[in-house]
Amino acid sequence: MPNLGPMELVLILGVALLLFGGRKLPELAKGMGEGIKNFKNALKEEPPPPPAPPAEPTQPKA
């Protein structure tokens, strides 16, 4: 993957500004930040315990 230098980042930010406008960029950044935060929190949570194996039916003794 190619490295992104300062000029590439400025270009990407400029294109984003043209596409979304100045008012939408803070909202988009906030949404992305919240999404990343939720993703990290989900990774930290412990997975639920595995379900218990079903009990074997008992046979009546004859």
Domain layout of the chain by residue ranges: 8-44
Q: What is the DSSP letter of 28?
A: H
- pLDDT at residue 60 is higher than 80: no
Using the predicted structure, report yes or no on whether residue 62 has a pLDDT greater than 70.
Answer: no
> Does the pLDDT at position 1 exceed 70?
no
Q: Give CA–CA dist 48/51, Å, rounded.
A: 9
Quick check: 16 pLDDT over 90? no
Q: Which phi and psi (to 5°) does residue 56 adopt?
A: -75, 135
The confidence band for 37, taking pLDDT boundaries of 50, 70 and 90, is very high
Tell me 45's DSSP state: S
Two structure tokens written together for 39:
């993703």
